[in-house]
């Protein structure tokens, strides 16, 4: 009997969803104007935004909504809570208890009640409106370079890291103008650590400025515009360094070139969470203004996460 109690205690203490989740979960309901909603045993009025507490359950959450004279039923289906997957850290033993617990369920955290469509499922995000201003910060995680340095031929490289700062202004409900400045690198490994080089090597980076017009299609934004890039290619000569005596001798053949390009900018942004987006940017340069003015082609591209925060409603 004692052994059975001990086993049950161990299983209970390792059940992540049962221990970490409350019986109720907090959701945020959005509407475009005052709306009366009914769910479970509650009847409240939502003035554009309202937080609610609902009971976790394997059953769909039914929300009856009344807006002016229009009545609509919304259905939010349950999904597994993220805390359930923490049981992998205890080799899955907690799943035995969590399997029978309603605490393993959750609902979509943000519910936009859209009366303009026939879809009964609440939308994931409230729509953005004309006149809103957003500031954004991005980490371009993976970068791709294609350059033609003077007297060095065609050069290509891929790498990691950089930064991007920008602002978005909604001039209609589904279109916005964006201004961005950033720097991208070709750091050779996907996490920042000190590196030692034992032979000659090449590096690339680019500083850019862009202006784009963007069209928002639900959770996807497509952008097109203009770009100015300062593309840098560097050759680092390590052959003239005597590592045994730790002295430098001979002739340093390191060199650096910069190409200043004017071109286009194309982007795709996918909204993942309220503040988080996944972005892909492609900046082809088509006219070189330095060092030798003329038509030519270079490009840089990046993929990264974007944080956006509303500063003007």
Tell whether 189 and 299 lie within a shared domain.
yes
pLDDT of residue 14: 47
In whole angstroms, give the CA distance from residue 8 to residue 286. 68
Tell whether 71 and 148 lie within a shared domain.
no
In whole angstroms, give the CA distance from residue 49 to residue 33. 9
Q: Is residue 121 part of a domain?
A: no
Q: What's the domain count of the chain?
A: 2
pTM: 0.80
What does 9-22 look like in DSSP terms, one character per residue? HHHHHT-HHHHH--
- State the residue range of the domain holding 74: 2-112
Tell whether 55 and 200 lie within a shared domain.
no
Sign, CA torsion 77/83/89/90: negative
pLDDT of residue 84: 65
Tell whether 201 and 296 lie within a shared domain.
yes
Cβ atoms of 61 and 75 within 8 Å: the answer is yes
Tell whether 265 and 160 lie within a shared domain.
yes
Q: Is residue 125 part of a domain?
A: no
pLDDT of residue 237: 79
CATH number, residue 152: 2.40.160.20
Tell whether 89 and 43 lie within a shared domain.
yes
Cβ atoms of 35 and 73 within 8 Å: the answer is no
In whole angstroms, give the CA distance from residue 148 to residue 286. 12
Q: Where are the beta strands (DSSP E) in 200-290?
A: 201-217, 220-236, 241-242, 247-248, 255-271, 276-290
Q: Which residue among 112, 147, 162 closes a domain? A: 112
pLDDT of residue 11: 44
Q: Which residue among 80, 112, 144 closes a domain? A: 112
Q: What is the pLDDT along the chain (313 residues), one digit of tens a residue?
A: 544 444 444 444 445 566 667 889 999 999 988 999 999 999 999 998 899 999 999 999 999 999 988 999 999 999 988 776 666 655 556 666 666 688 888 999 999 999 988 888 999 888 888 999 999 999 999 999 999 998 889 999 999 999 999 999 999 999 999 999 999 999 999 988 888 887 789 999 999 999 999 999 989 999 999 999 999 999 987 665 555 666 666 566 788 999 999 999 999 999 998 899 999 999 999 999 999 999 999 999 999 999 999 998 7
């Amino acid at each position: 009997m004692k052994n059975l109690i001990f086993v049950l205690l161990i299983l209970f203490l390792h059940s992540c969803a049962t221990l970490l989740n409350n019986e109720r979960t907090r959701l945020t309901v959005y509407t475009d104007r005052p709306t009366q909603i009914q769910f479970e045993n509650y009847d409240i009025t939502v003035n554009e935004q309202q937080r609610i507490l609902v009971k976790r359950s394997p059953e769909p959450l039914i929300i009856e909504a009344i807006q002016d004279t229009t009545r609509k039923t919304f259905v939010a289906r349950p999904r597994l809570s993220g805390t359930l997957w923490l049981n992998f850290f205890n080799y899955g033993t907690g799943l035995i208890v969590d399997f029978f617990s309603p605490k393993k369920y959750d609902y979509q955290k943000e519910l936009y009640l859209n009366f303009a469509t026939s879809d009964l499922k609440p939308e994931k995000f409230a729509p953005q409106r004309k006149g809103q201003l957003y500031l954004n910060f991005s980490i371009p995680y993976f970068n791709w370079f294609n350059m033609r340095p003077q007297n060095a031929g065609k050069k290509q490289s891929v790498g990691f890291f950089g930064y991007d700062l920008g602002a978005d202004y909604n001039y209609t409900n589904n279109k916005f103008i964006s201004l961005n400045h950033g720097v991208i690198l070709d750091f050779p490994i996907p996490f920042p650590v000190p590196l030692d080089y034992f032979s000659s090597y090449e590096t690339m980076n680019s500083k850019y400025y862009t202006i784009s017009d963007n069209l928002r299609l639900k959770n996807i934004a497509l952008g097109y515009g203009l770009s100015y890039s300062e593309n840098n290619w560097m050759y680092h000569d390590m052959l003239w360094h005597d590592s045994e005596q730790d002295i430098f001798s001979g002739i340093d053949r390191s060199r650096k070139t910069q190409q200043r390009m004017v071109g286009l900018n194309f982007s795709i942004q996918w909204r993942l969470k309220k503040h988080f987006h996944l972005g892909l940017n492609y900046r082809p340069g088509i006219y070189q203004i330095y060092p030798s003015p003329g038509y030519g082609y270079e490009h840089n591209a990046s993929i990264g996460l974007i944080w956006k925060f509303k500063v003007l409603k």
